[in-house]
């Protein structure tokens, strides 16, 4: 299932400059996702990280992976979205994070997330970020779902 930027914004509340997923290429709701972040020199963080040698911050790669996971976690089995307006999705844990190669302007960051456990309150994922077929980052992440009402 392919989801464009409008469908992504319908599913998660993030907006520029914190929306870090551009397109979903494959998704199995509640199970896995492959999404894309196109990294450009126009990203606001490149002004200070680092002007002489722009590198995408590792924490933002982890955030992009968490956003991708949120997209499939808030999707029904037929791909329609759950009502995420009444819930918050918080990144609460990162284990085993490894950054293998710098991510630079011009890279297409492929975001892979696979559910290890999804419940109504805690979700755990195995994630990896890939550029040109090489793993550039990986981590196990945990997110909490909280009722806003």
Note the helical H segments in the chain. Answer: 5-11, 58-73
Distance CA 20, CA 122 (A): 22
Residue 112 annotated in active site: no
Instruction: Please state, in angstroms and as integers, the Cα–Cα distance from residue 95 to each residue in 45, 64, 91, 98, 107, following that order.
Output: 24, 16, 12, 9, 25
> Beta strands 32-38 and 87-99: pairing type?
unpaired
Active site (catalytic) residues: 49
């Amino acid at each position: 299932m392919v989801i464009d930027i409008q469908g992504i914004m319908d599913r998660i509340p993030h907006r520029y400059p914190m929306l870090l997923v551009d397109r979903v290429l494959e998704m199995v709701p509640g199970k896995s996702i492959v999404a894309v972040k196109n990294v450009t020199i126009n990203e606001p963080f490149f002004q200070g990280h680092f002007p002489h040698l722009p590198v995408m911050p590792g924490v933002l790669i982890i955030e992009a992976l968490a956003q991708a996971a949120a997209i499939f976690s808030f999707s029904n089995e037929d791909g329609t979205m759950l009502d995420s307006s009444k819930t918050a999705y918080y990144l609460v844990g990162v284990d085993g994070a490894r950054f293998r190669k710098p991510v630079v302007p011009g890279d297409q960051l492929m975001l892979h997330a696979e559910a290890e456990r999804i419940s109504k309150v805690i979700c755990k994922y195995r994630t990896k970020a890939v550029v040109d077929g090489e793993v550039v980052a990986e981590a196990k992440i945990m997110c909490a779902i909280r009722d806003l009402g």
